[in-house]
Amino acid sequence: MTTSQHEISDEIAKIQADSPRGAPLLDFPPYRSTLLRHPTKDLQLVDPEGAELLAPVFGHSDVDPVESDLTIQRGGEPIGERIRVHGRVLDGDGRPVRRQLVEIWQANAAGRYSHQGDQHPAPLDPFFTGVGRCLTDDDGWYSFTSIKPGPYPWRNHHNAWRPAHIHFSLFGTDFTQRLITQMYFPGDQLLALDPIAQSITSPADLERLIASYDHSQSEHEWLLGYRWDIVLTGSHATYLEPTDD
């Protein structure tokens, strides 16, 4: 008999009571695959040097503008609820991250990835790969047109379901700002049950991963808009800049 959701939720609640934290705990047993994959020693605090002070640069030669629309990549209309997800990428001091790469990937409307390893018996969509890229603009804005991903089961425990999410890969201006994370949708009842989301043991910090519905981006008879802003860690290149507070 595999572990039940009730047991997993109990484990999560105990850890959260002991150590509320804004960054995910790497050692988080309710997500079973972390057991042998989390470092056991403390991370070493070091001052970045050399290549760590400069993120890779991506330009218009790297990204075709059509890559930001996941609904037009395969010559037909993918099935599902058409959405736009937009927002800003900011650094830890509130400055926009300009002209930088954003990569996303997601399941289709039925909760199936276009990945050979995904064996979930839900239909693939011949018109949807679920993969997109764009560059932020001069104010740090990104925008993707896509299909709302479906939730899907996984094998962490009995009757385990991932909440609907879009994976985001981000770069800042320093190499040290590298971030891969997941964006969730508002009102998803699966979030409270999910060991991956709940590895962020402080509820206020988990909120940072949840997009908000944005009616100003919704289009008449066409799609629904969501807004999600991303804040990277602080840049070291500007570390000595004076501040007022």
Rounded to the nearest angstrom, the gap between the alpha carbon of residue 95 and the centroid of all alpha carbons in its chain is: 20
Report the candidate in 5, 4, 24 with the shortest Cα–Cα distance to residue 193: 5
| Residue 25 sits in the site that holds another protein (CB under 8 A) | yes
Catalytic residue flag (residue 165): yes
The answer to whether 46 contacts another protein (rule: CB under 8 A) is: yes
Interaction of residue 40 with another protein, rule CB under 8 A: yes
Stretch that binds another protein, among 74-82, 142-150, 175-183, 217-225 (CB under 8 A): 175-183
Q: Is 113 a catalytic residue?
A: yes
CA 161 to chain centroid, in Å, comes to 17
117 binds another protein (CB under 8 A): yes
152 counts as catalytic: yes
| Residues paired with 105 in a beta bridge | 131, 167
* Span 56-115, contacts to another protein by CB under 8 A: 56-63, 90, 92-94, 101, 103-105, 113-115
Applying the rule CB under 8 A, the residues between 179 and 218 that interact with another protein are: 179-182, 196-197, 199-200, 205-206, 208-209
> What is the SS3 string spanning 129-187?
CCEEEEECCCCCEEEEEEECCCCEEECCCCCEEECCEEEEEECCCCHHHCEEEEEECCC
Active site (annotated) includes residue 38: no
Q: How far is the CB of 23 from another protein (least distance, A)?
A: 5
Q: How many CB atoms lie within 10 A of CB 244?
A: 3
C-beta separation of 66 from 75 below 8 A: no
Please identify, using beta-carbon distances, which residue of 31 and 226 lies nearer to another protein.
31
Does residue 234 touch another protein according to CB under 8 A? yes
Q: Does 131 bind another protein (CB under 8 A)?
A: yes
Residue with tokens 């994370």: 181
Residues marked active site are found at 113, 152, 162, 165, 167
